[in-house]
Amino acid sequence: MKDTRVEIELKPVIQEDIETVWKMQVEAFSELLEKYRDYDTSPAAEKMDKVTARFEQPWTNYYFIMADHEKVGVIRIIDKKDGSRKRISPIWIMAEHRNKGYAQRAIEEAEKLYGKDHWCLDTILQEKGNLYLYEKMGYHQTGKVEHINDRMDIVFYEKDE
């Protein structure tokens, strides 16, 4: 039987791409920023120099999520290679490309590159679609929840194969 899942590719981000990554991040998270008003924590409120500083971390890799040669999103993988959990922080799909399976496929591709075991991530507790995706991908809530404001909480996930 033919695999009908959408094909994506993770394309490594290079220094010259940082402004594009930042602009995509601001646009992708702006709706959530408006909804939750989390000006201190939202990726939509970050300045470009913060994204640049993350890019320059030796344990960070950013990838464009590519579908049909188009940048549909970005995933950042943190892997300190010191026994600590690998981390997805953040991942996003641009609004016009959401609900097509791209985030799921990007996580699967990240696991092919970095291994399926010993991951963590966090997300907005009130975003039920995010919770559904991560739980479907084998992540489980750790029980830790961080209260951000009266509209929003962050919930923490882990995954072990």
Q: What is the domain-level CATH number for residue 96?
A: 3.40.630.30
pTM of the predicted model, to two decimals? Answer: 0.94
- The number of domains in the chain is 1
pLDDT tens per residue, range 81-138: 999 999 999 999 999 999 999 999 999 999 999 999 999 999 999 999 999 999 999 9
Residue 34 lies in a domain: yes
Answer whether the bond into residue 58 is a cis peptide, omega within 30°.
Answer: no
Residue 134 lies in a domain: no
Residue 74 lies in a domain: yes
Residue 38 lies in a domain: yes
- Domain containing residue 30: 9-115
Is the separation of the CB atoms in 121 and 154 below 8 Å?
no
Question: 119: which strand partners?
Answer: 86, 159
